[in-house]
Structure 1
């Protein structure tokens, strides 16, 4: 079965201590695991997608404008991959598909499903932040579209510990995802 790794929103704004909407220490702790897993997928010639949130400053029509402070603004350093993953991405751009997204799910309003199906990919490995928001919504859409989903527990985090725990149970018990611990 062909696989793809989806690295979701692992950016400066969502992870760095001074990020605009950071999950802080739990997100920072993922760095080594996400980088190693990304390297493994690239080395094996498997597909890697960086699904990255993007917003326009002062957009009154985006629903997140009412829910969260401005984050991952187009053209800012806040959208860059966090930590050592930034350099790995720079060195491997030809092996990593960068995809902008404007909603929680990496499938909503993007070409992701077409991109995956064109490559015969059936199994999605999800890492990044936030477990109970963008990882969850992407996983629900993957389930509804018939993809096999694998969640890497050591590769996901949130700024809401209770939400993280709930989402981890939901992946396994409701969506039938495989959770790698």
Structure 2
């Protein structure tokens, strides 16, 4: 149990690209260099990088609350170019498609983490107050030591972003650095 794992949440074209269907705005674009550096760091150490990726059915009920976004198989559901080209041939890049806020809901993420048995799970991505928060909540409920990087998470709602960071730290016990 010495391995570290990086989870990259929803760094997808529909969330990060300026013309994305549910763009996180300047804050989302602003974390791209940090996230890319974190991915490079984990790749250099030959550590696993798990990409948790929204992948919705065209008729997903979530679209009653949010605009249609990240429909499975569409360009918008793909990793942003800055990351896709970087990890294309990286053998320890794992993609986990999801249909809800938590990266654990009806996915194989739990099994992947059980198999990897990481000492620490590092987290970056969007949106802090939605998919990042609910995935971190599940990590902490499974007693994974979890580190969330403030320079590596963002939201379209700055107040909710700050609230979620505080919740993850004070209630869930994640390390916020």
Band the TM-score falls in, shorter-chain normalisation: over 0.9
| Distance of 1:65 and 1:91 partners within structure 2 | 33
| Distance of 1:3 and 1:171 partners within structure 2 | 19
Counterpart in 2 of 1:86? 84
State whether structure 2 residue 15 is matched by structure 1 residue 14. Answer: yes
State whether structure 2 residue 33 is matched by structure 1 residue 32. Answer: yes
| Distance of 1:66 and 1:112 partners within structure 2 | 26
Task: Supply the RMSD in Å over aligned alpha carbons.
Answer: 1.1
Counterpart in 2 of 1:136? 133
| Distance of 1:143 and 1:122 partners within structure 2 | 13
Instruction: Find the residue that maps to 2:88 and give its secondary structure.
Output: helix
Counterpart in 2 of 1:41? 42
The count of aligned residue pairs is 176
| Distance of 1:87 and 1:111 partners within structure 2 | 24
State whether structure 2 residue 112 is matched by structure 1 residue 103. Answer: no
Shift of 1:162: 0.7
Counterpart in 2 of 1:71? 69
TM-score (norm 2): 0.95
Contact 1:31/1:83, CA 8 A, preserved across alignment: no
| Distance of 1:161 and 1:87 partners within structure 2 | 30
Instruction: Find the residue that maps to 1:75 and give its secondary structure.
Output: coil
Shift of 1:89: 2.3
Instruction: Find the residue that maps to 1:134 and give its secondary structure.
Output: helix
Instruction: Find the residue that maps to 2:27 and give its secondary structure.
Output: helix
| Distance of 1:144 and 1:58 partners within structure 2 | 31
| Distance of 1:122 and 1:95 partners within structure 2 | 17
Counterpart in 1 of 2:5? 4
Q: Deviations over 1:153-177 (max 9, x none)?
A: 0000001111001011111111111
